[in-house]
Amino acid sequence: MMQQNDYGMRAFKTDSKIGLTLSGGGFRASIFHLGVIRRLEELGLMKNISVISAVSGGSIIAAYYVIEMERRLRENLSDLADNKKDIDQIRLEIFEQIAEDFFKALDHNLRCRALIFSPFYHPLRWLKSLWPVCSRSDLMQAEYDKWFYRNNSIDQLPSVTQRKINDTSFVFGPKLILNTTSLLDGSKVPFSRVPVSRFSEFGKVNKNTYKLSRIVGASSCVPGLFPPVPVKGDKLVDGGVSDNQGVEIMLEEQPDIILVSDASGQMEVIHSIKDHVVAVISRTMSILQFQVREKIINILKGWREVDKNAREFAFAHLFLNLKDRSNTPRVSSEFIQALGRIRTDLDQFSLIERESLMYHGYTLMNAQIIKHCTKLKEYISKETDLQQTTCPPLFLYEKKHPQKSALHRRERIKKVLVIGKQKLFTLRSLKKYPWKIGPIVFFVWFLPLLYLYLSGMGHIDWLQDHIGEPFLDYLKGFCPQWIRLIITKILGLEDWSMFTRVATIALCLGLAIYLLSFVMYLLIRKVVSALDAKEYERLSGGTPFTLHWQIFSGYNKDSQEDQKE
Q: Using an 8 Å Cβ cutoff, are 439 and 429 in contact?
A: no
| Segments in 307-350 forming alpha helices (H) | 333-341
Q: At what angle do helices 87-106 and 57-75 cross, to 10 degrees?
A: 130
pLDDT 10s digits, 538-549: 888 777 666 578
Q: Is the torsion defined by CA of 34, 36, 42, 48 positive or negative? A: negative
β-pair partners for 333:
none
Q: Using an 8 Å Cβ cutoff, are 464 and 499 in contact?
A: no
pLDDT 10s digits, 426-479: 999 999 999 999 999 999 999 988 887 777 665 666 666 666 666 666 666 666
pLDDT tier at 164, thresholds 50, 70, 90: very low
- Minimum mean pLDDT range among 33-37, 65-69, 151-155, 385-389: 385-389
* Segment holding 179, helix H or strand E: strand 175-182
Q: What percent of the chain has pLDDT over 90?
A: 35
How many angstroms separate the CA atoms of 251 and 437, rounded? 49
pTM: 0.88
For residue 2, the model assigns a pLDDT of: 38
Q: Using an 8 Å Cβ cutoff, are 95 and 44 in contact?
A: no
Angle CA 243–246–252, to nearest 5: 110
For residue 11, the model assigns a pLDDT of: 41
pLDDT 10s digits, 477-518: 666 666 666 666 666 666 656 666 666 777 777 888 999 999
pLDDT tier at 560, thresholds 50, 70, 90: very low
Q: Using an 8 Å Cβ cutoff, are 363 and 329 in contact?
A: yes
pLDDT 10s digits, 7-48: 333 344 445 789 999 999 999 999 999 999 999 999 988 988
- Phi, psi (rounded to 5 degrees) for 554: 80, 180
For residue 307, the model assigns a pLDDT of: 84
SS3 (DSSP) at 558: coil
pLDDT 10s digits, 274-326: 777 777 877 787 788 788 888 888 988 898 888 888 889 999 999 988 888 87
Mean pLDDT of the chain: 81
pLDDT 10s digits, 19-29: 999 999 999 99
How many angstroms separate the CA atoms of 370 and 326, rounded? 12
Q: Kindly list the distances between the CA atom of residue 147 and the CA atoms of 113, 114, 251, 358, 384, in Å, as whole numbers in the listed order.
A: 12, 12, 32, 20, 35
**Identity of the residue numbered 174:** P
DSSP string, 379-436: TS-TT--TTEEEE-HHHHHHHH-GGG--HHHHHHHHHHHHHTT---HHHHHHHH-HHH
How many angstroms separate the CA atoms of 394 and 385, rounded? 23
For range 421-425, the mean pLDDT: 92
